[in-house]
Each structure stands twice: as C-alpha cells, then as structure tokens.
Structure 1
Amino acid sequence: MKKNLLNYKGLYGDNAQHELGNFVHHELLATRSKLYNWEINEHLHTDLFQIFIISSGEGVLIQDNNKIILKAPCILLIPTNTFHGFEFQSDVCGEVLTISEQFMETIFTNSPLILLELNKAKQYSFNSDNEDSLNDLLYLKDKIVKEITENNTYKQLCLQSLFQLFFVGLHNLNSFENEKETANNRTLTYFHNFQKLIKKTLPESKLIKEYANDLRITPVHLNRICQSLVQKSALQVVHDYAITEAKKYLVYTSYSISEISYLLNFKDPAYFSRLFKKQTGFSPNQFRSSTIQKE
C-alpha cells in the first residue's frame, strides 16, 4: 500500500496544479477511461464535483471497498473529497461533467438545501416511469455542453442557471425528509459553512466553541442546527468527518494507527482507537484487516 492517498487537484491522472476558480469541464466517458483500459483506480478530488451520465452499457463504481453496479441509463454524482474508482465495460457510452467546489457554492448560494443533499455519492436510475425526467435532464446537459464550448458574454451566468435547473431536476426525484424542507436558508448556510470549516482544519484541532465563534453564533445554536438537520450534535458531526478520513487512511495507505491518529490531530492514539470503535463497532486494526480480506 502507498503512504499517500491518491488525490488529484485536477482531473484523473492530472498532477498539475490548477487555479480552479469557476472551473467547468466536459468530456466523453471513453476519453479518459480508454487510456486506462477502462479501469480507474480509487482516488479522490479535493476540490472537484463530478457528474457521470451513462447512456448505454454498464460499469461498476468502487467505493468504500464495495462494488456498486451502474446500469444505463443512469446519472451518478460524486462529491468532492469522495474516494471512488470504476470498472467500465469497453462498450459503455457516457459523459462526465466536472465542476469546481467554488462554482458549486456559487450555483447554490440561494439553495443550500440542495447543496446539503449533494454531500454523498448518489446514483439516479431511470426507466419508463421517469423517462420524461431523464429527457429533461439530458436536454439541460446538452445546453450546458454547448455553453461550455462557446464564449458568450454571459457564459458563467448561463452555466450557473443551467446547472441550477439540472440539480433541481435531480432534487425533485428525491423524497427528501420533510423536516429538512422546513429548514430556513440561514440554518442550512450555517451548517454548510460548519462543514467547510471542519474540512479546512484537522478534525481534532478545534473546539466546538471555536467553530461556533468562527460562524458568529453560540455553541448552543450550532448544536441546535446540527440536531435539526442531521439529528446529531456538532461534536458528532466533527467525529463523523474524522472517522471518514481515518477510514481512507486505513484502507488506502500503510500508515500505522498511531500515524493516522496524529495526521488527524488526535493527541492520544488510544483515544482515537476508542472513538473509532465506538463509531464503527471495529477497532482500527479490525477495520483494516476486514477490508484487506474483502480484497
């Protein structure tokens, strides 16, 4: 195993540093997959969100040591900082849209509920029952691709509007929990900014009151926000992120348990191990061993 996580600032296989800004990119699925014999190793993009639109053929999404069948027609969303890999059949046809995290935040400035939904990888499958919805989404995709290739004066504004319509269309396919629908934009924005702060700092390096201070609210208010949206305390949200990051290091690197605990800024490896077991039901060593056995 490697010591470092396979992490691309840009697109897969691109190790160059880029100023992403409002980066938007489109390519055929075959363009990159064919270069790697239709197998994309597990990796993550720190600052890029991806949309895979598979129109024919099949593939497999590899995530968290699980294999998930992708059968056309489907749309797959891969958020930033999400480990994923693929095994595609050579006859698969599809497209990939890649958007910078900064542009995603611009798109959803006034729609933080949708941004909250996009925190996890999700596959949308289509059949005769929702064929009209798929056609609407493909129409918007074609408009997006056309806009990317042209240099119109209001290109960014057009792309922002088209992506909003695209994601709203996907959102309408969901049966998202009713209580979240009633959350106001300010509450959702606070929670999203809290998530961003967690990602920017090592999970155990700040106290909840410090996160609250950064958000200009009280710790009590921050806890209420987390409870209302995800039914967890603010500390549990921080711990969830820490455990997710720990799992990546346990599965994809050869760092020792102590090294991982220090990388995540846990001062005591024993405390890290206790928390990991409490959250997952396995010790870090047990979790690592179980994933190796699956392979």
Structure 2
Amino acid sequence: MMINSIPHFSLYGESNWIDDPDFFHIEAIESRSSHLDWKIKAHRHAQLFQILILKSGSANIQMDEQQQHLLGSWAIIVPTGVVHSFQFAPDTDGRVITIAVPVIDRIGKEAEQFIKPLLNQPGYIPFNGQQSMLGELWSLIEQLEKELQYSREGRGLMCHYLINAILLQLRRQQRLSGEQHAIMSTQDRQMQALKNLIEQHYKEHWSSDQYAQALGSSISRLNRASKAVLQQSIHDLIHGRLLLEAKRQLLYTSQSIEEIAYNLGFKDPAYFSRFFKKNTGYPPGRFRAASQQPIQ
C-alpha cells in the first residue's frame, strides 16, 4: 500500500494517538527494535520530543537529510517534527525517552535558559571517554524507570523532577563537548522566537515584515540579529524551512508534486517547481527520482 504522508506515530508502530499533556515514556531500545531486525523506519512525531541514550553498541541514523554513524556511548536529540530512522547493531544497549511537548514547555524559567538550547535542533552528544558523566546520567534514567514501576505518593512530580535532571545533565555534557554556549543571549532568544514563529507560519508564506512585526522589531534589526546568530537572513530562514519540508515530502511520501505544492501553501505548482529548482538546482521530480533513503 502506498504511503500518502510521512508516518506520524505516538510511539513507533503504534497508531493510537496520545493526547495527554503529561505523557512521558521510557523503554529499552531493544524492546521495540529487536523484533524489527533492529530497524526503525523513517517517521516523525508531531507532539513528542525524544532522547535516545546509547550506552553501548552502534547505530546508523538519519535525521532529515543528515546521516550519522555512532559507536559507543551517545545521546541523540530528536525534536518534534524531525523525520528520523535508525538501524541499530544487534544487542545495542540504551534507552528511548519520549516526552510530550507540554511537559517540555512547562520547564520553569529558572531552568529554561539552560535546557531550551538542548531542545531546539537535532543533535548528538558524545559520552565516550566520559564514563563518570554517563554514570550520573544512567542513575537518573534508572531512577525514572523505578518510579514508573510503582504507584507511590508524588510519583508524577518525582518523574518530572527526574526528567528535568536528565535534560540538565545532557545540557552539561553538550556544553562540555563544545557544541553550544550555555546561556542564550538576548539575540539568541530572539532568534529562537523567530524560528518558533517560522515553524508555526511557514506554510502561510508570511513575509519578513510579518515576522518582524510579530516580534516587535524592524526588519533591518531582525535581519542583523539573524545574520549574526544564524548566518542567514530572515528570507533565507523562511525559504529554508519550506525547502526542508518539500524535501521531506518528496523523499518520504508518494504525494504528487502538485499535492505537495498545495500542502506547502503554494497556489501554483509551477511556481513551487521553480522555487525548488532555484534553491536546489533540480526540479522536484528529478530530485525525487535521484534520491534514495540509505536506511529503509
């Protein structure tokens, strides 16, 4: 049967939708992937954030267009909406933590400046050679698993504390590995707000002026901040998000080019084709024909 859209799962392989603002889940990697030949096909989650902790083993990973091979101990950050697939080596040891977006959104202001940078984009955090840090993280994971096994007083509150502690521990290691600065500047915060708005409105084809007005800024000031922090103009960010979604739809669905164009807010499929070719060098049909998913 042809797939008409990128699969959205609550948890991989489960069709029932989870509509619980307090939802979170933890499971061993092997519990879901071992009976699937250790292979998780391309899918995404609309309202769930995931963290994979590899304690040992290896994995071939694809998140959107980026591929990565990881060996040993790693944390893998999978934000909502990111198309991802995994091929684990047999007997890979690790955990998958799945958290509803409202749980993430309720992180207190005191922790927000530390944790939010961790959540905004796909990433890989190395723990090889950092056994002490991995041990601290793993003890929190084991405690979270124990809390979920028994109905004890304050279990939900304790689990939320442990999730925050896990996120903070990951953020510490991310900082130590040199991936990002620990505290977001005013410009960083503004750029994150801009990216959030683009995520909400890119299919509506908002103009740069609309984004600037929504953020209470002028186009020139917002553009300067965007180029300083993200090395891209507002225009480039908007087009980049549209292009990313177009590539996702072309790679992972059987929708026609016309359907994809309309889904992305283009009133004229021919204009969508010109837009895609201008930004990639290929018309959409040729891009789809030439592209192959390395992980099936």
TM-score (normalizing by structure 2)? 0.84
Give the CA deviation at 1:182. Answer: 6.6
1:223 maps to 2:223: yes
Query: What pairs with 1:85-124 in structure 2 (closer than 5 Å)?
Result: 85-107=85-107, 109=109, 110-112=111-113, 114-124=115-125
Match of 2:21 in 1: 21
CA separation of 1:293/1:82 partners in 2, compared to 1, >3 Å: closer, same or farther? closer
| Paired residues of 1:42 and 1:84 also in contact (CA < 8 A) | yes
Match of 1:5 in 2: 6
Q: Separation in 2 of the partners of 1:62 and 1:177? A: 22
Give the CA deviation at 1:148. Answer: 4.5
Q: Separation in 2 of the partners of 1:7 and 1:53? A: 22
Match of 1:175 in 2: 178
Task: Indicate the SS of the match to 2:13.
Answer: coil
Give the CA deviation at 1:66. Answer: 6.2
Structure 1 portions without partners, runs of 5+: none
**CA shift digits 1:15-68 (9 cap, x unpaired):** 222223132211111111134332211100111111111223333223446653
Task: Indicate the SS of the match to 1:26.
Answer: strand
CA separation of 1:15/1:134 partners in 2, compared to 1, >3 Å: closer, same or farther? same
Name the stretch that deviates more: 226-235 or 246-255.
226-235
Give the CA deviation at 1:230. Answer: 0.4
Task: Indicate the SS of the match to 1:201.
Answer: helix
| Paired residues of 1:203 and 1:238 also in contact (CA < 8 A) | no
| Paired residues of 2:140 and 2:162 also in contact (CA < 8 A) | no
Match of 1:55 in 2: 55
Match of 1:159 in 2: 162
Q: Separation in 2 of the partners of 1:220 and 1:79? A: 30
CA separation of 1:99/1:211 partners in 2, compared to 1, >3 Å: closer, same or farther? same
Match of 2:127 in 1: 126
1:286 maps to 2:248: no
Q: Separation in 2 of the partners of 1:12 and 1:45? A: 9
Match of 1:193 in 2: 193
| Paired residues of 1:21 and 1:100 also in contact (CA < 8 A) | yes
Q: Which amino acid aligns with 2:57?
A: G
CA separation of 1:40/1:3 partners in 2, compared to 1, >3 Å: closer, same or farther? same
Give the CA deviation at 1:84. Answer: 1.1
Task: Indicate the SS of the match to 2:44.
Answer: strand
| Paired residues of 2:261 and 2:269 also in contact (CA < 8 A) | yes
| Paired residues of 2:144 and 2:159 also in contact (CA < 8 A) | no
Q: Which amino acid aligns with 2:172?
A: G
Structure 2 portions without partners, runs of 5+: none
Q: Which amino acid aligns with 1:120?
A: Q
TM-score (normalizing by structure 1)? 0.84
Q: CA RMSD in A?
A: 2.9
Match of 2:211 in 1: 211
**CA shift digits 1:174-202 (9 cap, x unpaired):** 32466x95723xx4333333323322234
Query: What pairs with 1:135-146 in structure 2 (closer than 5 Å)?
Result: 135-146=135-146
Give the CA deviation at 1:232. Answer: 1.3
Give the CA deviation at 1:171. Answer: 2.4
Q: Which amino acid aligns with 2:72?
A: A
**CA shift digits 1:47-104 (9 cap, x unpaired):** 1111111223333223446653232222222111111112223322211111122222
Q: Separation in 1 of the partners of 2:177 and 2:226? A: 21
Task: Indicate the SS of the match to 2:18.
Answer: coil
